[in-house]
Amino acid sequence: MNVLGFLYVGLATAMLIPAIVDVAQKNADWQAFVFSALLTGLFGMLLSLAVGGSLREGLDTRQTFILTTLSWATLPAFGALPFLWLGIGYADAVFEAVSGFTTTGSTVLTGLDSLPPGLLVWRSMLQWMGGVGIIVMAIVLLPFLRIGGMQLFQSESSDRSEKIVSRSVELIRLIGLAYLFLTVLCIAAYLATGMELFDAFNHALTTIATGGYSTHDESFGYFKNPASGWVAVVFMIIGAMPFVLLIQALRGHPLQLWRDPQVRALLGFLALVSLTLTVYLGINMRFPFEEALLRATFNVVSIVTGTGYALGDFSQWGAPVVGIAFLLMFVGGCTGSTTGGIKIFRFLVFFGTVRAHLRRMVRPHRIMSEEYAGTRLTPELSFSVLAFLVVYMGSVGIITVALSFFDLDLVTAISAAATSVGNVGPGLGPVIGPAGHFAPLPDGAKWLLSFAMLVGRLELFTVLVLLDPDFWSK
């Protein structure tokens, strides 16, 4: 409760930035942010004062599960307050805030070009704050909680006990500095392509966070300079890289990135799918090579990294493209990045486990050992990854069935489930596709999808473990 209180106060402080933007633009909507900041900050301070004192001891595993889930579940509830100023319902406001914090990028808002500037900045800030929170969670917390094979990335310098100790503070500081540096670099790159400062600032925040919120209804189709699209491609890929390795690269060891199997696999996969789609668009859609290459690469990278930007309505490019886009929703980037989805390293572990099983079928008495980046894949690690894959696909299936009770067609239901659990952004079909939005969905479906976005962002088991009675027993 003490930590949650401090988080709410931090969120309230962040709300003052869009308020300042509205004041500078002589927009009366600054009142929404000031009122929301006062309410959020007051609640946070009262919560911290009620429990008293400071956190002197580290959190054990059970406390970390509870804190992680509560923080991600409750921060969007306060982050949604400024959206109520628009006159939209609380279900829409929470959906927009959850989509922002989880860097999903699905939206219920239309007419973005005419929205108050402060509100557009707040949407971008939600994704930027959520992005750095995701990195910290993936690098510092999930390896200790041994979720979905994340124990493979437990830092050797970290305390091997079940405590989340202050030694992680230095790592968090480095993550924050690297994240800020890359954001500033992205802003400068967008400005160099001719973007206005307001657009460059907002899109840099949502690009490096692989979030996908834009200041325009056309998303990146609004910008006519192809260089802006290529800058987005580069920084979406950077956002999908392991941030621990990015920090090492920024400190003078760039080859550390290439030595990671998941980085090589991700770049190779993106190149293969992008080139395949480029050829398809050139032959079937008669696009010139440069345009086909940009549109194919941009949309493939956007979907795989879970950013959710759109450069054209790819649902109009034929059934094969729609099918590929659906499958890409499940992939994700590297672990320790801002991306959602299953993650590349889990696919590598899965394929390694399948390969070892096939070899054992041929030679049952031969002892074989599969490795990942020099680390032997133990049965526990392989089982952890396989269990995650089963639960992940099962979650998408259950949410799809649940959405069908709201009279949604199959394409809308299954793509909404996949994009929410994978934190991707747009779905498929005429309603929630790249040219659509989630506003037409019933409120019940929006609440369900908000839950799906949170569960997907928390890597499923962080929430599911709270439902186990043994978790609460002493």
**Alpha-carbon gap, residue 293 to 313, rounded angstroms:** 15
The dihedral region occupied by 106, where left means phi > 0, alpha psi between -120 and 50, and beta the remainder, is beta
User: For the ranges 201-210, 401-410, 411-420, 462-471, which has the lowest average pLDDT?
Assistant: 462-471
pLDDT at 188 over 90: yes
Contact 415, 421 (CB under 8 A): no
155 vs 78, which has greater pLDDT?
Answer: 78
**Please, what is the Cα angle at 429 between 424 and 435, to 5 degrees?**
70
Contact 205, 125 (CB under 8 A): yes
The pTM is what? 0.92
| Tens of pLDDT, residues 273-287 | 999 999 999 999 999
% of the chain with per-residue pLDDT over 70: 95
Confidence at residue 64, expressed as pLDDT on a 0 to 100 scale: 85
Give the single-character DSSP code of 137.
I
**Alpha-carbon gap, residue 65 to 138, rounded angstroms:** 13
| Tens of pLDDT, residues 406-455 | 999 999 999 999 999 999 999 999 999 998 899 999 999 999 999 999 99
156 vs 21, which has greater pLDDT?
Answer: 21
Instruction: HSE, CB side, 13 Å, CA atoms: give it for residue 464.
Output: 16
Contact 118, 474 (CB under 8 A): no
| Tens of pLDDT, residues 128-168 | 999 999 988 888 778 877 788 887 776 443 333 334 334 57
Confidence of residue 375 (pLDDT cuts 50, 70, 90): confident
**Alpha-carbon gap, residue 251 to 75, rounded angstroms:** 33
The SS3 assignment for 329 reads: coil
**Please, what is the Cα angle at 250 between 249 and 253, to 5 degrees?**
35
List, in sequence order, every residue forming a beta bridge with 164; answer none if it has no partner: 59
Confidence at residue 474, expressed as pLDDT on a 0 to 100 scale: 65
| Tens of pLDDT, residues 315-338 | 899 999 999 999 999 999 999 899
